[in-house]
Structures are given as structure tokens and as C-alpha cells.
Structure 1
């Protein structure tokens, strides 16, 4: 981890004053004094395999310009390809998307403490994820449980969060089983997303291999799971559902399908814990030919737009949400200015979007037109090794 001596704190505000951060992007960079001009912090997880190297990077984001200023780089475990943070900004949790973890088969999960003055990370503890290649982590709505999806082994796990922020061993796991989809990449289960419902009564696991969203009753007090008797949703055969996100109103959800490059609008039944398809649209521009896989999906904070990412076309697709029924209308496709946009994020105000291009080693920013949802490149970017995940939070150091 970078030493905290690279920071100076005054009155609880983080100052970066002309310091050269030679560890970032492998070269020295002079960072001007910017205190007071930047409202957000950005944590970027990478696919760097060695836990002895810096694997999580920290930046300050200016929502006015889209500029990212480097603050530091830290050891966050091997391949921290997905991150999540608690509501109090005290702890960050990261998967290690590995096949072998601490000498044992499978992946792992790390709990890291956040310094309230510098925003830097310190490892608290690590636990096995009880499966191989964990690729998604979220906290339930109470913040008492970490929900983890293990891609290669096709199972999910719940790890309770202790009062001090450390992770306890898994309290519950569930293995997804056949039948699998018809696509060549569906020869086994591939859990790709695991998140709690808005009211925390249920948790939902999205599985690319089975074309299903599996629902569970979630006991937040114990971390136990009780699978529902039938799938919460079944996608079209070969769709390969990947990521699910809820609309702010809690009545709709949007499902990104990796293998057929579509997005499905869903009506959510909060009582039953099930979804009903509203419609499914392509995420690709008309006339596209070639290989593509859908990746990420997010709803704008104001609930007006859905954004998805395409790996192959290397684009972001923007859709407007009809306020009456949650249906989607295509607004725009825009280049991600790099290769393989694994993940992207909107800042909490919805003014800036950041996209992580895994195979071109860069992160680009865009301004968001909040009336139309359209994205405009800011011309600002940063370079770092294999960026995989972007977490944007208010600057709590001020």
C-alpha cells in the first residue's frame, strides 16, 4: 500500500499538492492542488493477479470536468474484479476472481478498512468464497451480509459481516444445477450476479449457464438462504443472463443478457419474489456483425435511463425508460474509446459516467445530459492495468 505520507490533511480535507505518484501507470505524474474542487472518490478494481502488487486504485473525480486525479494504489488481494462498499464508507469488500486461493481450490473475498482522512485501504481479513472465480459481490440492504456469485463453479455464498467490518466464514451456499442453456458457453452453471431485493426479503442470483434468475428467501439476521420453489425468472434459451439491477421505484428491474446481447425490462412482484418480462431489446447498433457479449447494466439515479455495455462492439447503449410502464426506447450508442468495457458506473448525481476498458488498460469519462440521457466524451481518461470495476462514492474525506 502507498504510504499515507503522500497525503496531507488539513481540517479533515484531503489535499494533493503537486505530488508525483510514480506507481500509477508506471510513470511519474504531477498532480496539482485540487482540494475543494472534487466531489467524488473513485475506487477501481483490476485483474492484476499477484496479491503482492497494487490491485486497487484510488482517484478523485471532478463532476464538472470528468477529470480523474490519481491519489494512490493499494494491495487489495489478487484479481479484485468486483467491489462494494458499506453505506457508512467505512469498509470496502472485494472478490478475488481466482481458481486457487490461499493454496486451496476456489476464490476469495477480502474485507478492507477505509481510512476516513485519506480514503486509503488496509486489509482486515479474507475468507474463501466457497467457489471458483467469484465475479460479483454486493451487500444486503442491512449491510450485515455479503452476497457472492462464483462464476466457474456456478454457486453462490452469503458471508456475514461482523460488527468490526471483518467477514465471517460463509453462512450459506447454494449450487446451481442443470438444465443448462444451448449456447456453447452454457455447458455448466455460471453464477454471475447476486443481490438483495429492495425490501431485503429476497436475494436473487443471476446464472448465465442456466438462463435463470434464482430467488431465495434471505434471513438477514443469520445469513441463511431458502431457495424459492421455482425460478424467479427464466430468460430466453441461450440468452445468458449476466447482471440484474433494480429501478429506484422498486417495481421494475433490468437484466443484461451476455450471450445474445440484449437487455430485458422486468416487472417485479415484491410479494412473490418473481419477475415478469415486459420486453427485450438488442443492445447493439443496427447492422452490427461480429462477436459481442453484453456486460454491465445500470439505471440512472433519477430512474429515467438505462445504460448497458457491449464488449466486441465496444460501445455503451443508452435507453430511455417510459415512466408509465418501464419500457425502453433506444437513445444512443457511443464508443467506449477502448476495448472490452467490463464495467462502468455513474456518479451518485448522474452527471458523469466512467467506463473501464479491460483490454486497453484505460478508464474514460463522459458527461451525461440529464434531460436526454446522451453521453458526451469529456476527453479525460486514465491508464492503469486491466481495469475491471469502478466504484464512485461521495468524497467522505472532506
Structure 2
């Protein structure tokens, strides 16, 4: 299976890595590298049409830093990436990129600009010009929350609504996704406890629940989700840390296991993956364990499509560590497979969901 890694890198060094992923032992082998992008930290993959989209930093006509994204063809056997095009996406640098479930539009988020943008995917897989920009407004209670800080976009399973985690506002802002019109239409807002800093969100794989990991508060907030109305209702907030820990921490990524039984979140500072059991009836969470990541600053992680392995990108340790996932308990066991790569941030599998 093919997998791809995005990282912090200047344009003179490799920033995107194509890998062969061994589904038997959970290891990666880099087969191809892409230079030429400034900090291609986040990726999104269209495995049906063998395309990859990477965000990066660009320069606008006034020589100011801005958000950009590049499109690539993926060689289905080797993972080699062939450049298609690059487009400016937002007037501020971006931190997250995702495709809708039909692979017709790309959405990007700007932490520094407090905005989100939508761009069409053209018939040949290239990115079109930005079609819509939604600027957020306001602030919250902490010094870092002095302005909007849109951190990520997520889609519901029906592809009808797109949500934005805004760390600066302590809100999840929901939009109706209008693909024919290439528009994000403001729909509603969900308030998170002040000072929480929502960062990334994961819907349950089977049931109408969703979970946001809060970077500043080191918590996860669970919601029930009305799929028809596009409404989230909070049902629980739970810490990502053991009670005995009093050091610094900032949460990062969150994923539900493919079987829907467990939820995983990353702690930067405590340097762990918190594992929760998910109650299938209520959606509430119970802590299973805090698994050390064997490296510093686990900015992102990915669960293999078959659910057998969990791969952690330890950015400040310059490596990705593979863990075997116990499907019964949800616990993580390091399996000795480590890939050394500079400042890894994002791991994506080329699998058709």
C-alpha cells in the first residue's frame, strides 16, 4: 500500500515523501521525495483518481507570504509524484487541507489568517482558482486567542456539512457545503468551553457522534450529531492527560479506529497517545491508557486502514514510530518499526474510503 508524509521543510529540501507501507509489519520505506515546496505540512489524497494535494507557503503579487497548494499525479505502483499545478489559496499561510468525499473541491484553513477557503478540483485533477473564502471574526479568553485561528476543516459522512475548528474563537463553525456553486454557506456555531482551543475533529465511523481535540485545554469534547440538521450537541468533555501530570501540554490530532470501538488523541508535551473506549450507545469516552510515543511532539498520527497499526509522526524527534494496535483492548504496543524523516507532520494512506 502507498502512504505519503508531509513535513516542515524549505523549498530546497524534500518535504513530501512517497512510501511503500508494509501491511504485515507496519513499516514504511521511502520510495520518492518531492522538493520545491515551502513547508508542505499537510496533505490530502484522492485514491480513486490517484491524485495528491499538498499545502505550502506561497508569495503573492506584493511579495507577501500567503497560502498555496500543489496538485500531483500519483503513480499507482511506485507512488512517484508528478507535478500538475500550484495555486494561491488564501491571502494568509495555511495549516490544513482536505478534499470533500467526492473529490470535487479542496478546502484549506489558515491559522494565522483566521479564514477558510474552497477551491475546485478540475477535470484533470489540477486545482482551480479559489472560489470562496470565509473570514472568521472575534476572539476568546487566552492571549493566543486574540483573533480567529481556523485550524482544520472536516466533513460529515453525508458530505452535506463542513465544520471548521477555530482555536482562537473556541468554536466549531458549521457550513453547508454547496459543491455545484463552489460555496461554503454559514450554517451554525458550536461553543466550546473558553480556553479550550479546538484543533482537529473526527466523526465516528458508524454512529452519529463526533469528537474534537482541544489543543489549549488538553481535553476531548464529545458530541452527538444530527445529520439532517447539521447540528452538534455536546455530551462530554474529558481530559487527555493523567491526573498526576502537571507539565506543559498541547494536544494535536484525533482519530477513531476503523472498527469504531476506540478513539485516539495525541499529546505534545506529555508525548503520548491517549486511548479511549467509545460507548456505542451514548458516545461517551472512558480512558484506556496513555501510550508513550517514544519521541517528542507527536503532531499527527494515522491509523492503518485495516486498523492493525497506528503510526505516530514525532516532529521534534525526526521520526515516525509504528505501534501495533490491540483490536480488543485498543492498547498500543511499539513494534520496533521506525522511519527516520525530517520534521514529519502528516501521514496519509492511499486507500479508498
TM-score by length of 1: 0.85
Q: Describe the SS at the equivalent of 1:198.
A: coil
Q: Which of structure 1's runs of 4+ aligned residues deviate more than 6 A?
A: none
1:200 matched to 2:159 = yes
Distance 2:181 2:323 in 1: 41
The equivalent of 2:79 in structure 1 is 119
Q: Describe the SS at the equivalent of 2:141.
A: coil
The equivalent of 2:292 in structure 1 is 335
The equivalent of 2:301 in structure 1 is 344
Structure with bigger gyration radius: 1
Deviation at 1:99, TM superposition (A): 7.1
Deviation at 1:199, TM superposition (A): 1.0
- The C-alpha deviation readout for 1:181-213, integer Å capped at 9, x for no partner, is 111211111100112221121111110000011
Deviation at 1:275, TM superposition (A): 0.5
Distance 2:158 2:245 in 1: 39
The equivalent of 1:188 in structure 2 is 147
Deviation at 1:67, TM superposition (A): 2.3
Which of 241, 250, 256 aligns to 1:293? It is: 250
Distance 2:37 2:58 in 1: 14
Distance 1:115 1:59 in 2: 12
- The C-alpha deviation readout for 1:309-341, integer Å capped at 9, x for no partner, is 000001000001011111111001111111111
Q: Describe the SS at the equivalent of 1:193.
A: strand
The equivalent of 2:109 in structure 1 is 149
Distance 1:58 1:217 in 2: 34
Which of 371, 376, 384 aligns to 2:341? It is: 384
Q: Larger strand proportion, structure 1 or 2? A: 2
Deviation at 1:370, TM superposition (A): 0.5
Q: Describe the SS at the equivalent of 1:185.
A: helix
Does the 8 A contact of 2:46 with 2:350 survive in 1? no
The equivalent of 1:282 in structure 2 is 239
Question: Residues 53-72 of structure 1 correspond to what in structure 2 (within 5 A)?
Answer: 53-72=13-32
Which of 107, 118, 133 aligns to 2:67? It is: 107
Q: Describe the SS at the equivalent of 2:17.
A: strand
- The C-alpha deviation readout for 1:197-234, integer Å capped at 9, x for no partner, is 21121111110000011111111112112112x41x11
The equivalent of 1:239 in structure 2 is 196
Q: Describe the SS at the equivalent of 2:317.
A: coil
- The C-alpha deviation readout for 1:226-285, integer Å capped at 9, x for no partner, is 112x41x11000100000111112511110000010011110111221100110100012
Distance 1:267 1:141 in 2: 21
1:46 matched to 2:7 = yes
Question: Residues 1-398 of structure 1 correspond to what in structure 2 (within 5 A)?
Answer: 40-50=1-11, 52-75=12-35, 77-96=37-56, 98=57, 100=59, 103-178=63-138, 180-228=139-187, 230-231=188-189, 233-394=190-351
Does the 8 A contact of 2:32 with 2:79 survive in 1? no
- The C-alpha deviation readout for 1:338-375, integer Å capped at 9, x for no partner, is 11111000010000110001111111000000111100
Q: Describe the SS at the equivalent of 1:359.
A: helix
Does the 8 A contact of 1:107 with 1:132 survive in 2? yes
CA distance change for structure 1 residues 117 and 59 in 2, over 3 Å: closer, same or farther? closer
Distance 1:91 1:148 in 2: 17
Does the 8 A contact of 1:159 with 1:172 survive in 2? yes
Q: Describe the SS at the equivalent of 2:234.
A: strand
Deviation at 1:89, TM superposition (A): 4.7
Distance 1:302 1:115 in 2: 30
Deviation at 1:63, TM superposition (A): 2.8
Does the 8 A contact of 1:129 with 1:150 survive in 2? no
TM-score by length of 2: 0.96
Deviation at 1:122, TM superposition (A): 1.3
CA distance change for structure 1 residues 215 and 128 in 2, over 3 Å: closer, same or farther? same
